[in-house]
Structure 1
Amino acid sequence: MIEAAVDHSLKQGPKAYWTPDERPTLDEANAWCKALTGSHYENFHVATFFLPKEVRPHFESIYAYCRVADDLGDEVADTETAKGLLTAFGEMLNECYDAPERSMHPIFVALRETVVACDLPREPFLDLLVAFQMDQVKTTYHNMGELMEYSRYSANPVGRLVLMVCGYREETLALLSDKVCTALQLANFWQDVVEDAERGRRYLPGEVMERCGVDEGQILGRVFTGEFALMMQSLVAETRAMLAEGGVISQHVDGELRVTLDLFRKGGEAILDGIEAQGYDVLRGRPVVTKAKKAMLLAGALWAKFWAGGKR
């Protein structure tokens, strides 16, 4: 019944996400997740390429879960439909843990193998769904504390899953990862101010806006002022400091994981650099990481990967 409900609802969305009529084999499920991962040029997909080949299928199943869940929340126009889809997706996750033989969707056939092989708890996966559900009902944030709480569900679980798949379960490392992941989430918020506003969402903390003399109308009206620049400058500086604090995690993991974590962190720094280069005017257009900058980051990561391999 769970799979049928999702299959029916997704006919309003991407057909690629529908549940198949027959249960896929593990190889077919892994291939489905790999194809989905390869079709999205995003930090998670690119960065995990630098991890050992044997763990990549696990990251592809995790990515597929995150990607589809995110799309169910963001790409379905009707709020109630999106909420229902996310609830059903959570039930499918529980089925993956409690009655895996009943799972029909390739995501959960592949994810089951990852869960067993890496001994992953279900909480991080459920936490991500909490964030996507929050997006359906909470559209503004009053202070940084609320954004931190949101990031606890939307971003931090991914970092913790990355660590666990690579064999790291120390809470001290997880807390450092949380700082990096929260900072990456905030960097994306600062980058996407206009895009989020067009979706009816505002992640700029209202308390900070008020303190800096910035009002809601400036965002949709794209009215850039000195006050707006000072606000963004302070938010970028705070986020950059958080990235640096969490970035010391790289000193406590093996070489190949270090390459991946550093690439995540440097990607966030590149977003902040882009905002700064634009004079903090995120209202005139979305700051982007240039192709040249991406190429430099990837070249550096490749060099670091080969160096790490040579040290083993």
Structure 2
Amino acid sequence: MDYIRGLHNCTGFTPGSPTGFRAARDKNFSRVESLRLTNIYVALERNVVTRQRPGTHDLRASMSILASARCVEYLDRVMEVDHYENFPVASILLPKRLRAPVGVIYHVARTADDIADEGVFDPAERHARLADFRAGLDAVAAGQPAPVHPMLFEKLAGTVSQYGLPLGPFYDLVSAFDQDIDTTRYADWPALMDYCRRSANPVGRLMLHLFHASTPENLADSDAICTALQLINFWQDVGIDWKKSRIYMPLCDLERFGVTERHIDEQICDDAWRALMRHEVDHARAMIVGGAPLAVRMPGRFGLELCSVVHGGLRILEKIEQADYDVFRKRPVLKGPDWVVIGMRSLAMRLRGRVGVQLRSVES
């Protein structure tokens, strides 16, 4: 699942204490930078958490995407999925009562993704195994024992029953994984957005349902953030995806800007490529900024966490621009100084109640 793996690239930090974040696996994050960033979050928590109105602590459960996208330390210990270290999480921000259901959601998504993308199976076998997995979801819906992965689906059935989760998002994930086996190009934006709707958005939607916060406004903003993060990962990993024979940029955009697959194969970064990348970066930036109101209206550490995710994604886009759009030779990664910038911008976002980013017009 490119969305799950890509979140770490945009927001790859993990909480090291209740009062601050440490860089995840970044050897360049100095002790001074770590202390500076921790102080930023301490100051923010004092301004945000202590000023909540009586009873608003219950709204921590209304956070969306980050409850699912930020708990890998906890989940890796529980499920021993050590090769999924790129799934960033913040178990410290999850209420203890919700860690088990989040773990089940994560395990279901990872298992289905492995069927589609791991191992040495041929496409026909992957499709067949995903069909079996879909039959497991059917069994959960019917209240029957699953024919495959019986323990996993038994846990899912209990979680769905206890928390009233819809099964639709799980079917969407399986559908997207199934599509990823054969589909390596997207003709236009509607086709790519339909893929993102099923591959990126379900996790955020499930978390909103889990936290009883699935209002239309929250769902729309969560979808925007989830899809934008996936797009950012696509733009960041053009070269990596090419090695898998995949291009996620809409082909209509390549044609519009005079870019061919030869540009990617030979890593040509000319004016045409830069114009294409500028357009794609602007599109993703507008989308994630469009979903940012979810972060500013959510109180406490969950709101702070989502502000950081938004600015983590925006920082990756900045670094693509700083590299003059040459993602082949200068694939953007976040280092120590970037986290200080993200922390300061998250603080400003929380205090001002807006993301504070100027957008260029995006021509369709």
Instruction: Verify the 8 A CA contact 1:47 1:263 in the aligned structure 2.
Output: no
Instruction: Verify the 8 A CA contact 1:79 1:136 in the aligned structure 2.
Output: yes
1:92 to 115, 118, 136: 136
Amino acid at match of 1:145: P
Instruction: Verify the 8 A CA contact 1:33 1:107 in the aligned structure 2.
Output: no
- For 2:253, the equivalent position in structure 1 comes to 208
- For 1:80, the equivalent position in structure 2 comes to 124
2:111 to 63, 68, 73: 68
Structure 1 unaligned segments of length 5 or more: list them. 1-29, 305-312
In structure 1, distance between residues paired with 2:199 and 2:237: 16
1:190 to 221, 224, 235: 235
In structure 2, distance between residues paired with 1:249 and 1:183: 14
- For 2:18, the equivalent position in structure 1 comes to none
Indicate whether 1:50 and 2:93 are aligned.
Answer: yes
Indicate whether 1:277 and 2:347 are aligned.
Answer: no
> Greater shift after overlay, 264-273 or 210-219?
264-273
Deviations 1:89-145 (A, max 9, x none): 111122233235557544323323321222001000000111111112221012222
Q: How far apart are residue 192 of structure 1 and its match?
A: 1.1
1:166 to 211, 214, 228: 211
Amino acid at match of 2:101: H
Which of the pair is proportionally richer in helix?
A: 1
In structure 2, distance between residues paired with 1:294 and 1:88: 43
Indicate whether 1:290 and 2:327 are aligned.
Answer: no
In structure 2, distance between residues paired with 1:33 and 1:84: 30
Amino acid at match of 2:199: S
Report the TM-score when normalising by structure 1.
0.78
Instruction: Verify the 8 A CA contact 1:143 1:207 in the aligned structure 2.
Output: yes
> Greater shift after overlay, 104-113 or 275-284?
104-113
1:1-312 to structure 2, matched below 5 A, reads 34-36=78-80, 40-43=84-87, 45-47=88-90, 49-77=92-120, 78-99=122-143, 101-102=145-146, 104-290=149-335, 293=338
Q: Secondary structure at the match of 2:333?
A: coil
Q: How far apart are residue 207 of structure 1 and its match?
A: 1.1
Amino acid at match of 1:41: E
Deviations 1:40-90 (A, max 9, x none): 3335x4245422222122212111111221221112441111111211111
Q: How far apart are residue 33 of structure 1 and its match?
A: 8.1
Report the TM-score when normalising by structure 2.
0.67
